[in-house]
Structures are given as structure tokens and as C-alpha cells.
Amino acid sequence: MKRWFSVFMAAVLSIGFLVGCSTGNGGKTNNGSTKNGVTTITFWAAPNPTQQVFWEDMAKKFMEKNPNIKVKVSPMKETPTSEASIQAAIAGHNAPTMSENINRSFAAELANSKAIVPLDTLEDWDKIVSGRKMENSAESWKFSDGHQYVMPLYSNAMLFAWRIDILKQLGYNEPPKTYSEVLDLVKKLKQKYPEKYLWAKADLADPTAWKRWFDFFMLYNAASDGNSFISGKKFAGDKEAGVKVLQFMKDLHDENALLIKQSKNPFETGTSIFTDLGPWTFTSWKDNFPEMQLNKTFVLSPPPIPDGLKTDHIKTYADAKGLVIYASATKEQQKAAMKFAQFVFSNPENDLELLEKTSLLPARDDLTTNETFTKYFNENPQLKPYAAEIPYAVPAIDNAKYNDLQTFIGQYAFNKAVKGQGDPSKEWDDMAKAIEGALK
């Protein structure tokens, strides 16, 4: 899974043009129709060969049981970006019936332009959600207008990794859970190994919007119990929780626990003992760092939290994407698309295939309890903690201006805190003022 998200090209089209192209064609589209009793739908898979193979297999199995629906699967273009290619297709009246690879923030942009359908208004939405056992997961994907625009596909609930081998040298058998416990550990670390750091990551000081998903939002979601941060067109951030996050990062700076310059593989080499970690890392580790073994050299945990909070069911950020249905599709195509989705998600064996083919964690609440997945997680124990965290992982904010909003988090608050600058309360207020201005 790539840890990037591009800045969308304003020159591709204006929001007004998007609206006209997505809804002003009378429901007609170039992506298929119903002929001789057969409805054709087009599905754009993510530009990842393993995901395309999965969806081609699902389409083949579905069509064998539903000869009156034809599903054409093809990969979406990723030049210049997959998001830009979707926008261009909408503008050119060539949008697919449905696609995957949609982040909740990008979906907000599409929803604002009426380019995608609110799925909860379509028949069988509730059956799909309950049939896949994703009631908790789907709830966190609901938009501020009360609608569901994205059907959760996978959710990489972000966790932190700790170098348990080094922790044991400091007298710890498990990672600290609270801010004060982390700071106590840092003091011991710097006394014994002054050249080591808690967290070594240049991105901490970089204001680029998407980077906040893998530091600020992980910590903030944990500290605020998953506060929505943005609610519709209003800033809804929990100041008390946010200031505690900023103060924690400033305290780490003051203890010389942060390395915010480029460093090659700092966690793997032991330069740092703590890092945000996605499940996609393990494939690379298998080839390049075979010594990284769960419960031997590293362990996984949810984000640390402010003192006094409950340490169970800690929220985190979900690096997650899902499916959408485009408004340019005919009613027959929309109905067929929902039938295809219900077919895929009604059988846990299909989610097992998704997991085996792509290593993406299906957005199910029962991944760790459903026997369908037991063998897989026994063979891949490093992924089980991620699966257990899925019901408590919060996807990206549902606002079309997310790029500007998340840039402000870094510029006005988070980047300053990691550099030990200013007062966290004032930084939060400055950030809130900038965000509120952008939301007007």
C-alpha cells in the first residue's frame, strides 16, 4: 500500500463542470446499457495487478450465477494519478459504473459534485452491511450529511511498532500505554543509549497534507476517542485532546526523543524504537529484514494515549478505501452493481481470497473471530493485531478541502510541536482559525 495521496489538479475540471457532466446527461453514459435482457456494468479496479486479478475472478464467478448481468473489469489509469483519471472520466462522460480505490476524503469531493450515489438510498445496502458483518466499520464511514457514499472494502488500521528487544534491555516486557509512561521510558532510553531516539521520522516536520494520517490523526483519534474533527462545514476538533497530543510531541522534542531528519531504516536498524507501521511493511521486511520477527524484535500496539483514559478499544487512523457507484450509471446499472457487491461481500470466502491475493485486510468486524480467517492469521500472526483494531479505526475526514485542512494541521500546530516551538494551546487555536477560515 502506498503511503501517498496527490494534490488534485484544479485544471482537470471545476466542481460546476463535474456536476454538469455527472448528472446532466439524462442517465446516459458510455459505460454500458441493458440490451437483450443483459445489463452491462463496468468496474474499475485499483492500479494494482493483484487487485485486478481478484475482481476479475469475482466477476467471473458472479456472471456464472447471474447471466443477465455482464461485469467488465479493467484497471483505472494512474497517470497522472488515479484520482485525476476518475475526474477526467466523469468530465468526459466515460465514468465506470463503479470503482474501488476511493478514499473517504476523495469521496467527499465526488459527493459534493453529485458524481457518486449515496449508497444507503439504494436497495440492499443494509443487507450488504449486515451480511458482511461490518456494522461497526461502516458506521465510521458515514458522512456528515448522514449518507454512506463509500462501501468499505479494506481497512488498514494503523498501529505503532516497538522494538521489544530494546525495550527489554530497559526493563520493559511490554510497550508503555500512556504519555507519561512513554516519557519515563524515553528518559531511560536516553540514559542507556543517548544515540537512540524514540521516533525517527522526517515526515513529522513536513506540512504535506497526507502525512498527517500517519502521525497526527493516529494520536488524535486515540486521544479524542475518534472525534470527527470536521463535521460538515464546521471544525469540530476536540481542543483538550488535541492540545494534549501537541504537548506530548513537544515534550518528546524537549527530551531529544525525536529525530526529524532523513534517516535510512531507523526502526529496523535500532536507531529508533517506535514507529507508525502499516501491514504492507511485512512483505518488504521478509525480503530485506528477516530478523524483524513479531514478539522477538518488535511488537505492535495501538497509539499511546493521554493519562487517565481507558486503555481498551483505543481508536486509531484507518488507511482505508472502498467502492463507489457513479451517478452517471443508469438505474439498471446501479441495481446490478449493488447485486454484484452483495454477491462479493455475502461470502466470507471471498474476503479470504481478497486477503490472500492482496494482503489487504477486509473491512469486517469479525476478522479475528470468524473461523474462515483462522488459518490465515495463524500463518500470518503479524496481521492479527491489525484485524483486531479494524472496528476502532477511523477513516479519513469527509471534506473536499481535506488537502488544505490537513496542511494547516502541520503548518500551524503539529510541525511546530515536534520542533519544540511555541505553546500547544495557542498552536491549536491558530490551526483552528485557519481551518475555520477555509471551511467558510
Structural domain contains residue 53: yes
| Segment 383-409 mean pLDDT | 94
**Out of 135-149, 287-301, 339-353, which region has the weakest mean confidence (pLDDT)?**
135-149
Residues 416 and 382 in one domain: no
Cell of 116: 457518486
Find the domain containing 152 and state its range.
Answer: 15-156+319-394
Q: Can you give the three-state secondary structure of the chain, one letter per residue?
A: CCCCCCCCCCCCCCHHHHHHHHHCCCCCCCCCCEECCEEEEEEEECCCHHHHHHHHHHHHHHHHHCCCEEEEEEECCCCCCHHHHHHHHHHCCCCCCEEEEECHHHHHHHHHCCCECCHHHCCCHHHHHHHCCCHHHHHCCCCCCCCCCCEEEEEEECEEEECHHHHHHCCCCCCCCEHHHHHHHHHHHHHHCCCCEEEECHHHHCCCHHHHHHCHHHHHHHHHCCCCEEECCEEECCHHHHHHHHHHHHHHHHCCCEECCCCCCHHHHCCEEEEEECCCHHHHHHHHCCCCCECCCEEEECCCECCCCCCCCCCEEEEEEEEEEECCCCHHHHHHHHHHHHHHHCCHHHHHHHHHHHCCCECCCCCCCCHHHHHHHHHCHHHHHHHHHHHHEECCCCCCCHHHHHHHHHHHHHHHHHCCCCCHHHHHHHHHHHHHHHHC
Residues 27 and 131 in one domain: yes
Cell of 136: 461497526
Residues 40 and 119 in one domain: yes
Per the structure, how many domains does the chain have? 2
Cell of 416: 511546530
Q: Is the model's pLDDT at 42 over the cut of 60?
A: yes
Residues 166 and 149 in one domain: no
Residue-wise pLDDT tens digits, 299-321: 999 999 999 999 999 999 999 99
Structural domain contains residue 286: no
Structural domain contains residue 378: yes
Residue 122 banded pLDDT, cuts 50, 70, 90: very high
Residue 1 banded pLDDT, cuts 50, 70, 90: very low
| Contact (CB, 8 A) for 143 and 398 | yes
* pLDDT higher at 341 or 16: 341
Q: Is the model's pLDDT at 287 over the cut of 60?
A: yes
Residues 31 and 135 in one domain: yes
| Contact (CB, 8 A) for 345 and 131 | yes
Residue-wise pLDDT tens digits, 190-231: 999 999 999 999 999 999 999 999 999 999 999 999 998 998
Return d(Cα 106, Cα 398) in angstroms, integer: 8
Q: Is the model's pLDDT at 13 over the cut of 80?
A: no
Return d(Cα 15, Cα 52) in angstroms, integer: 30
Closest CA to 5 of 75, 59, 80: 80
Q: Is the model's pLDDT at 6 over the cut of 80?
A: no
The set of residues, in sequence order, having a beta carbon less than 8 Å from that of 22 and lying 6+ positions away, is 90, 95, 113, 114, 115, 326, 327, 328
| Contact (CB, 8 A) for 150 and 102 | yes
Cell of 120: 444507503
Residue 106 banded pLDDT, cuts 50, 70, 90: very high
Return d(Cα 139, Cα 392) in angstroms, integer: 10
Residues 89 and 148 in one domain: yes
Residue 7 banded pLDDT, cuts 50, 70, 90: very low
Closest CA to 179 of 311, 315, 306: 306
Residues 55 and 106 in one domain: yes
- Give me the pLDDT at residue 140, please: 86
| Contact (CB, 8 A) for 252 and 199 | yes
Residues 193 and 231 in one domain: yes
Structural domain contains residue 434: yes
Structural domain contains residue 296: no
| Segment 354-379 mean pLDDT | 94
Residues 84 and 168 in one domain: no
Residue-wise pLDDT tens digits, 422-440: 999 999 999 999 999 999 9
Cell of 216: 497526527
Structural domain contains residue 347: yes
Structural domain contains residue 250: yes
Residues 151 and 23 in one domain: yes
Residues 77 and 192 in one domain: no
Structural domain contains residue 4: no
